Amino acid sequence: MSSKREFLKFSLAGAATFSASGLFTEALGKSHPSEITAHHTEKKTINKPIVVSTWQHGIAANKAAWQVLTTDGKAIDAVEKGVRVPEADPEVRTVGYGGYPDREGKVTLDACIMDENQNCGSVAFLQHIKHPISVARLVMDKTPHVMLVGEGALKFAKEQGFKEENLLTKKSEQDWRQWLVKSKYEPVINIENHDTIGMLALDKHGDLSGACTTSGAAFKMHGRVGDSPIIGAGLYVDNEVGAATATGMGELMIKTVGCHLVVEMMRQGMSPTQACQAAVERIAKKLGDYKDFQVGFLALNKSGEYGSFCIQSGFDYAVTSNKTNQLFNAASLL
């Protein structure tokens, strides 16, 4: 595994290339002659296809997405297929089946998906359905809406042929009963390698898409919805610029519309790492309690450059491309 320093070096090299591509000039709405020349004379290699995703479970998820990407598939299909892997894995305790329940012992799921044409679909507070991401995909593909929640989302899922299942595993039930003894709500910073999955992909055609799915904060209040199903907070894609996803304490991302912010920073010329850092710094500036929580952003731009930044050290992410297939440690504020 690469060290944090090696990773940072890589990202900063990526940033330099990105600025030279001419996108920076375009974003500012003016033409600087030397940048235009650079744009026309250098044929920039785009790192595609590529898929990136949050935490260690991203390795298995990327593998499934990579199969789609290398057979000429679309990014939107790759991200859906990829995140279904941790959704179905009972060992991943913060996504889908086997996820930690809320305070009432109920597993409630949030997910969203976004494609290269600004189409998006989302479900929140969905119970009994193992693959919320695929329900979100159908909200996008088959309804005039973006978001369905709770009972309505469940009704729609059943109409679409999803079957109701018990998502509370024995292990999760035991942990919940243990938690009930004190009933103290203390979100654990970095439940290492067991967290929300956010995935971003750039396909062979040069199109970007993203997906994000989670069981949310363990032992949350019944009815609580985090950032993961909120377009702009837990996920955002702009096919002209790049895409971003987030993990960690969702309330902080919602308050700052974090992933939209990251994409807008890339539009202004920042590298993915710089944009993620800017969003973390915005959180730190605006929200006094940020030191008590973890937030990690992961971004991918239109050139296939990626980067990440978080509040606390300990956040890692998986990258799969023709050049690499490994986990990286994100740089952190603290």
Residues that bind ligand SD4 (CB under 6 A): 195-196, 214, 216-217, 226-228, 247-250
Do you find a cis peptide bond into 229, omega within 30 degrees of 0?
no
Residues 236, 271: contact at Cβ < 8 Å? no
What is 249-296 written as a DSSP string? -HHHHHHHTHHHHHHHHHHTT--HHHHHHHHHHHHHHH-TTGGGS-EE
Helical H segments across 42-169, by residue range: 58-69, 75-88, 132-142, 150-159
User: Is the CB of 110 or the CB of 238 nearer to ligand SD4?
Assistant: 110
What's the token pair of residue 66? 């990579």
Which amino acid, one-letter code, is at 309?
A: F
CB of 3 to ligand SD4, least distance (A): 24
Residues 80, 136: contact at Cβ < 8 Å? no
CB of 199 to ligand SD4, least distance (A): 13
Q: CA separation (Å) from 1 to 6, 15, 62, 77, 323?
A: 10, 22, 17, 28, 14
Annotated active-site residue 196? The verdict is: yes
User: Is the CB of 14 or the CB of 248 nearer to ligand SD4?
Assistant: 248
User: Is the CB of 210 or the CB of 226 nearer to ligand SD4?
Assistant: 226
> Per-residue b/e over 162-199, b at no fewer than 16 CB within 10 Å?
beeeebbbeebeebbeebeeeeeeebebbbeebbbbbb
User: Is the CB of 74 or the CB of 220 nearer to ligand SD4?
Assistant: 220
User: Is the CB of 76 or the CB of 217 nearer to ligand SD4?
Assistant: 217
State the catalytic residue, choosing from 54, 108, 196, 213. Answer: 196
CB of 195 to ligand SD4, least distance (A): 4
CB of 311 to ligand SD4, least distance (A): 11
CB of 31 to ligand SD4, least distance (A): 40
Task: Write the CB contacts of 182 (distance below 8 Å, at least 6 apart in sequence).
Answer: none
Catalytic residue positions? 196
